Amino acid sequence: MALHHRLTSMALLTFAALVASCGDKATNPNNNPPAALELNSGNMPTGRSYSHTFANAGTYNYFCTVHGVSMSGSITVSGTTPDSVLVTIGPGNSYNPASASVKVTGTVRWINIGSDHTVTSH
């Protein structure tokens, strides 16, 4: 549902921007800022790492914005172990492991050993 809401909001904002004349101010009809992404590493060149500590239980799907959803993974946050997980990115267009688990307040660290990649929530 959140994805549908986010896409609907983006579509409305895009439509508002298209119909606005030069100098007009486009506004968000829902008066809500876009939702922040849980995972948002930005571009990660070779050798760069990104860490994230999860505060809430759930399954967090992510993908590489450079290579699209064919390069994706997931983190399941629940239980009491493990405290941390290491995910390598590459070589090739893959996360290893593609699926991992960590406890609430656990940390996942992604290390890029391939070309440019990202870790970005859906």
Residue 11 has pLDDT above 50, yes or no: no
Residue 33: which pLDDT band, with cuts at 50, 70 and 90? low
Tell me the C-alpha distance between 117 and 41, whole Å: 9
Are 72 and 97 contacting, i.e. CB atoms less than 8 angstroms apart? no
pLDDT at 19: 43
Q: pLDDT of 41-85, one tens digit each? A: 999 999 999 999 999 999 999 999 999 999 999 999 998 889 999
Indicate yes or no: pTM above 0.75: no
Question: In the chain, count of helices (H) and strands (E)?
Answer: 1, 8
Residue 20: which pLDDT band, with cuts at 50, 70 and 90? very low
**Residue 48: both structure tokens together:** 């760069």
The 10 Å Cβ neighbour count of residue 87 is: 21
Comparing CA positions, the residue from 70, 69, 73 lying closest to residue 59 is 73
Are 49 and 114 contacting, i.e. CB atoms less than 8 angstroms apart? no
